[in-house]
Structure 1
C-alpha cells in the first residue's frame, strides 16, 4: 500500500481535503509544522501524523512517503524546500498553488524530476485545474491558435491562506505572456468585456497561474488571464498598482498577514455550496477564427478538494514517466468534466466577417 501525505493539513484547505479523503476511505498521513495542531486533527480523523519544518532535514521525514500533496502556503516561500525534499526522497510532489513564480520554478526542475523518476505537478486545485483543462480543450479545437485568454467568475469567499498569498504578491502588478515571454503589466491596465457564463461583464487582467502553465500545456505564445470587476474597482486597482512600492515592503506585508490570522476564517459549507464557479476561455488563430469555451464547476474550494484528491488517486495507481506536468498535461482536458459539481464544455465558434 502506497503512503501519501497532506502537508499543511491544519490549514483551511488542507483540513477540508483531509476530511474528504477520510470520507472516501483514503488514509493520508497528516503533516505540518505545528505538532499540536496536526496531532489534534489526526486523532480526530484516526490518521497518522508527522510534524516537521521545511528545512534541510525534511527529506528524512519523506523516506517512506510516495506522494506529498503540499497545502502549506504562501507557496512562494514553502514550495521550493518541499520540492527539494521530494527530489531527495524520490517522492511525487503536488501542490495547490496559483503563483506564477512557483509554476516557473517547478517547470525549471523538469530534468531533475525525470532523473529522480518522480512527478512534479503544481496547481492541482482550482488554481489551475479548470482553466488548464479549458486551455487544452481550446487547443484541441483550434490547433493553430496564437492567442489564448482564460478567466473565471465566482462569488466564493476567501480563505486565510489565499489572503496571505495575495498579500505576499502585493506590489507585483499583473502579468501576461507575449510571444512566449512572461511580461509584467501595470495592475488595472488590461480591461475588456467578457461573458464568463452569467452575462457580459467588465473584466480586468490578473497574474493568474495560467500565464505560466497554459503555455506548457498548449504551446500557445500569447496568454492573458481575467476576472470580472466593475469598472470602478478596476480604476481603484490601477491606483493601488501605482503604490506598489509601498505595498511590497515586508513591514506592510507582515502587518496585513497578522490581521488575516486574527480576522479571516474562510467560507463555510453553506457559502461554498451556493457559489459555483464559471470558467471561460477564448482562442484565436492568425486568420481571426475564434473558439470560446465555457464550463460551470463546483465552488473554488470544493473543486480544489475534488481535483487534488482525484489526481492523488490516479498517481497512486498509475505509472507515469517522471518529470514536470500541468494537470491537463497529466490527465487531459476531460479531467474537469469528471469532477463532482462540474458540467460539460460548451463551445462556440466565430468567424471573421
Structure 2
C-alpha cells in the first residue's frame, strides 16, 4: 500500500495532468490548493480527498499525516520556500516541478535542515530538469575530467498558463551561466552558437535554465551554459527586448501581462502534446579539448513532467534514499530519463581535438 502523499496545486494545468494520471494508475494522492471552487470539483470527479489551505505559516498543520508533498503551484519563486518550510516542520519529503534557478539554489541551501528533519528535498522532477539533469550526469560518467558543460533542448510543445506566468516574472532578469563554479548573470541574447539538438543544426541562444544550478550540484563541472534553438533575428530581438527589462519588471506591467495570460492561454491539448516530442542535447569538454556529446528524444514537455514526477514520487515513497537536498539524477541515476514512457536511449559521440 502506497504511503499517503499530496499534490499541492492539483487544479493547475500540470498539477491536474499529474492528478489524473495518478488516479488512472490506481493511486490516491490527496489533492490540495488554496481555491476550493477549483479544487473540490476535481476531487469529487476523481474521488480523491481534498484539502484547502494556502502556502503559509499554517501549512504544516495540513501535512501531519503526509509522507511526501509534490508541489505544483507556481510561481515557485514565491511558493516553494514556504512549502519547503512546512515540509521541514511536518517531516514530509518535498518534490516540485520547478525550473527556476533561485528555487533550486534555495532547495540546496536547505540541505542541513533537511538532514536534521529526516526528509529528502528534490526540486525539478518534471521536464525541468529530469532530462537535462540525467544528460549532465551521463556526460560526467563519459568524461569524468570535463571542465565545461552545455545542455539544451528543442521542442514544439506549446506552453501552459503557469509556465507563461513564470516567464513573465523572469522578464528583466536576463540570462545566467555558471563560470568557475559561480552563478553569473549575463544579458539575454548575448550567448549564441550553432547546435544540432537532434533534428539538424540550428542557431541557438543561451537561457537561464535550471541546470545552471542543478547540473553543478549533480556533476561538479564548474562551467555550465544552457541553450534552446532560436533564429538569429530573434536572438537579436531578445537582446533589444532585454534592454527594456526594468520596464517589464514593473508591477503594473507584470499584472497586465499575467491578466492577458489568464484570458488567452489554456495550455496544449492532448493531441498537440502527442505530436511534439522533445530533443535533448548535451556536450562536455575537458581541458585537452576532447568533447563528448549525447542526445536523447523524449515525450512531450508536459507528458514527461507527468511521467517524471510520478516516477520520482513512486521511487521515493517505496525506496530508501538519503536525506538532504538532491537533484533527480543524484537520487535516481542518469538512466532515469531513458526509463520514462516516450523516451529513447542516449546516443553518444566523441570529438577529438585536431
Fold match by TM threshold 0.5: yes
Tell me what 2:300 maps to: 299
Tell me what 1:272 maps to: 273
Question: What do residues 248-277 of structure 1 show as CA deviations (whole Å, max 9, x unaligned)?
Answer: 111111111111111110000000000000
Question: Number of matched residues?
Answer: 353
SS of the equivalent of 1:226 reads strand
Q: Are 2:254 and 1:253 equivalent residues in the alignment?
A: yes
Distance 1:325 1:17 in 2: 22
SS of the equivalent of 1:145 reads coil
Measured after TM superposition, the shift of residue 64 of structure 1 is 0.6
Tell me what 2:163 maps to: 162
Matches within 5 A, 1:1-353: 1=1, 2-353=3-354
- Normalising by structure 1, we get a TM-score of 0.99
Distance 1:9 1:316 in 2: 19
Distance 1:248 1:269 in 2: 33
SS of the equivalent of 1:352 reads coil
Distance 1:328 1:283 in 2: 17
Measured after TM superposition, the shift of residue 13 of structure 1 is 0.2
Distance 2:34 2:297 in 1: 36
| Structure 2: gaps of 5 or more residues | none
SS of the equivalent of 2:285 reads strand
Distance 1:18 1:260 in 2: 23
SS of the equivalent of 1:50 reads strand
| Structure 1: gaps of 5 or more residues | none
SS of the equivalent of 2:348 reads strand
CA RMSD in angstroms, aligned pairs only: 0.5
- Normalising by structure 2, we get a TM-score of 0.99
Question: What do residues 141-191 of structure 1 show as CA deviations (whole Å, max 9, x unaligned)?
Answer: 000000000000000100000001001111000000000000000000000
Distance 2:84 2:253 in 1: 28
Distance 1:303 1:147 in 2: 27
SS of the equivalent of 2:294 reads strand
